Amino acid sequence: MILEVTKRAQKKLEELGLKPNESVLLIIYETDGCGCAVSGISKLQEVKPETLTEEEKMIETEPAPYRAAIQKRAEWAYDENLKIDFSANTFQLKSPNEMLNPRMHYQPLV
């Protein structure tokens, strides 16, 4: 799996204080309140690498030094190629086949 972080998304992440050398972008597949596991929605959370658990896995991310991870239990929900973009004042998660989340919530490191 490969995740591309577009220049627009990079710019916004850095404006929000993300330090790509120090943090990981964790894509979380949230199913609470969605009805079933197939009806989940993705959100983006900045985490420290040492907080990742065995339930998450790192994925190839471009460009360096950005790093990302996904939940292993939700890997089935994503295409092999993903893209995080920033447009219309919000983050977006896309694949070559579809828009996975046009208004993806971002939670910076707390």
This prediction has a pTM of 0.90
pLDDT at 33: 54
Flag whether pLDDT at 105 surpasses 80. Answer: yes
Q: Where are the domains of the chain?
A: 2-107
Give CATH for domain 2-107. Answer: 2.60.300.12
Q: Categorise residue 54: left if φ over 0, alpha if ψ from -120 to 50, beta otherwise.
A: alpha
Flag whether pLDDT at 35 surpasses 60. Answer: no
Flag whether pLDDT at 40 surpasses 90. Answer: no
Cβ atoms 83, 2 nearer than 8 A: no
> pLDDT class for 39, splitting at 50, 70, 90?
low
Average pLDDT over residues 74-82: 93
What distance in Å separates the CA atoms of residue 85 and residue 72, rounded to the nearest whole number? 22
